[in-house]
Amino acid sequence: MPKQTFFNLPEDKQRLIEEVAVDEFAGRGYAAASISQIVSRAGIAKGSFYQYFEDKHDLFMHLVNRVTEEKHAYFKDCRPPDPGIDFFANLRWMFEAGFAYAAAQSRLNQAVSRVLFGEGLFMGEMFKEARQASAQMFVEMLQQAAERGDIDANVDPTVAAFAVETLLNSLGLFILNQQAVSQEVLQQGRIDWLTSEQARQIVDNMLFVLEHGLRKKTDG
């Protein structure tokens, strides 16, 4: 977390430092991001930076926390239109809500997501608790789905949750690769590739595989 000296700054100065950091992480990624470039563009001394943050990791985690706050605010009142829908309809609704969020998300959110998933940081130790919480959510969804008869009760919910979550985490990258999106488009922060008709068809196909499996059905 930032030091108190950062929060003592005028709000417009805090926002300027954050905006410059967002541009740096979005344009260069986490590993190549330069504190020297950030302080130069923000108009602060390098010594001042270390009065505000411990290091680059501390700054990035501050941006991650800002994104978490944005996401919670966006989804606070977001609920399926019908609480009684089955597991697969609920999963489709989650995708739709995700698409809407992607279309509305800020430059901050785009930059942080690109670093976390593009550079694989989300799979590291620092986000272990977040991954565990997400996995538990899917386990509970699948257990409830089995109780309702939406899915085969013989399916291990822990294994099924792993399969569903792995697909979800990889889906954005798969859609990105299928559409051959350029680096320039990514750096501009555009997400039209994620909300395109082709992207929606990919989601439809993935949900079909999840619901119906791979084995060819035979009559009788």
10-residue mean pLDDT profile of the chain (220 residues): values are 93 94 88 93 95 94 85 74 82 78 72 73 67 82 88 90 82 79 69 79 89 78
Looking at the domain assignment, is residue 125 inside a domain? yes
Q: Which domain CATH number covers 204?
A: 1.10.357.10
- pLDDT recorded at residue 17: 95
pTM of the prediction?
A: 0.65
* Cα end-to-end span (Å), the chain: 62
> In whole angstroms, how large is the CA radius of gyration of the chain?
20
**Range of the structural domain that residue 28 is part of:** 4-63
The confidence score (pLDDT) of residue 40 equals: 96
* Same domain (yes/no): 31, 103: no
23 and 109 in a common domain = no
> How many structural domains compose the chain?
2
Output the 3-class SS for 147-210: HHCCCCCCCCHHHHHHHHHHHHHHHHHHHHHHCCCCHHHHHCCCCHHHCCHHHHHHHHHHHHHH
- Residue 71 belongs to some domain of the structure: no
The predicted pLDDT at position 31 comes to 86
Task: Say if residue 146 is in the same domain as residue 112.
Answer: yes
Q: What is the pLDDT of residue 219?
A: 65
